[in-house]
Amino acid sequence: MSSASPGAKPFNILFLCTGNSARSILAEALMNAENPARFRGYSAGSFPKGEVHPLALDLLRREGLPLDGLRSKSWEEFSAPGAPQMDFIVTVCDNAANEPCPIWPGHPMTAHWGLPDPAAVEGEETMRRLAFAETLRALRNRIRIFASLPLQSLDAMSLRNRLAEIGRQ
C-alpha cells in the first residue's frame, strides 16, 4: 500500500448516490479505512434519505470499519463555500450519474462506478444481507485498485481512463 509523502494533503473523494443511505456510505467507510494518510472519503446524495440504512451500518460494524461521522446528507453540503475541495467525485448509482450535478469547486476528476442498490432488494433478510455484502465486496475491490494507482505520476487522460476502467469491473 502506498502512503502519502510526509506533509502531503490527502486526496478528497466524494462518493455520490441518490439516497446516500447504502452504496455511497459503504464507499465512504471503505475509503477512509484504506489509507487515511493518503485518502479522505466523503459521501452524499442528490435526494438523501436522511438516515443510513441499518443493514449498511450492521455490515460495516461486523467488518470492523469505522462508523464515525457516517450520515445521510445532501451533495449541496459539498458545493457550498467552505466545504472540503474534492479531488475526485465517483457516482456509485446510475441515477446519480444521470442527474445534473452541482458545479464542483476545483473541477475534480469524475468517474462512474455504478452498482445495484442493495437497499432495493426485497425478500428474506438473508438475501438482503447478501446484497449488502456483495456491494461492499465490489466497492472494496474498486477502492483497492483505485488506491494502488500512482496518482501523482499519471497524466489526466490516463487517470480518467483508469477510473472508467475500474467502474467497468
> What residues are annotated to the active site?
17, 93, 101
Q: Closest Cα to residue 91, out of 80, 79, 99, 83?
A: 99
Which residue type does 1 have? M
Distance (Å, whole) CA 62 – CA 145: 23
Helix axes 125-148, 54-62, angle to 10 degrees: 60
C-alpha cell at 19: 439516497
Phi then psi dihedrals of residue 79, to 5 deg: -105, 0
Distance (Å, whole) CA 132 – CA 25: 11
C-alpha cell at 8: 502531503
16 HSE (CA, 13 A, CB side): 26
Pairing relationship of beta strands 88-91 and 11-17 according to DSSP bridges: parallel
